[in-house]
């Protein structure tokens, strides 16, 4: 399963973070009864653009959504999106403090010739949209 529509999570004219749907051939093979979602995360600014595909499944999916919910509702907390595959060590860390989000991530594998490390700030609306998009 993937997200239905591409969506911009944050765009302040300087930094843009998006969730993108992925073709069926890039999706993890879904097993009935186990929560699973595959999506791409894209980050871009005026100089750089990067994208990586992530799959969340089973307990990791449940724990990630729960951590997003907790941070969003309390306006404080941390959560992380990692990929389960061995083809990348991409990640996105989210740290919320008093409704402000610090987002740090790496898209693409550090062991490949192309990866993007980024960092920017946003507000709690990003977490709300992310939570809505990842709810299956």
β-bridge partners, 49 = 44
The pLDDT of residue 4 is 82
**Res 133 pLDDT > 60:** yes
The pLDDT of residue 124 is 92
Residue 88 confidence class, pLDDT cut points 50, 70, 90: confident
Q: Which fold has domain 7-134?
A: Transcriptional Co-activator pc4; Chain A (2.30.31)
The pLDDT of residue 2 is 73
Nearest to 50 by CA among 124, 120, 128: 120
Q: How would you list the strands of the sheet with 16-20, edge to edge?
A: 7-11, 16-20, 36-44, 49-57
β-bridge partners, 43 = 17, 50
β-bridge partners, 77 = 96
pLDDT tens for 18-58 read: 999 887 766 666 566 666 788 899 999 999 999 998 888 87
- Identify the residue with better confidence: 32 or 123: 123
Domain residue spans of the chain: 7-134
**Res 119 pLDDT > 70:** yes
Q: With contact defined as beta carbons under 8 Å apart, do 124 and 96 qualify?
A: yes
Please state the pTM of the whole predicted model: 0.86
């Amino acid at each position: 399963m993937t997200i239905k529509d591409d969506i911009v999570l944050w765009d302040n004219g300087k930094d843009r973070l998006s969730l993108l749907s992925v073709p069926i051939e890039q999706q993890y093979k879904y097993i009935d009864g186990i929560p699973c979602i595959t999506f791409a995360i894209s980050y871009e600014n005026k100089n750089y653009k990067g994208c990586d595909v992530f799959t969340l499944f089973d307990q990791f999916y449940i724990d990630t959504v729960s951590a997003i919910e907790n941070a969003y509702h309390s306006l404080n907390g941390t959560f992380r999106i990692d990929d389960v595959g061995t083809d990348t060590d991409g990640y996105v860390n989210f740290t919320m403090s008093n409704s402000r989000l610090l987002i740090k991530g790496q898209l693409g594998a550090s062991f490949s010739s192309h990866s993007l490390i980024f960092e920017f700030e946003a507000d709690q609306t990003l977490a709300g949209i992310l939570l809505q998009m990842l709810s299956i």
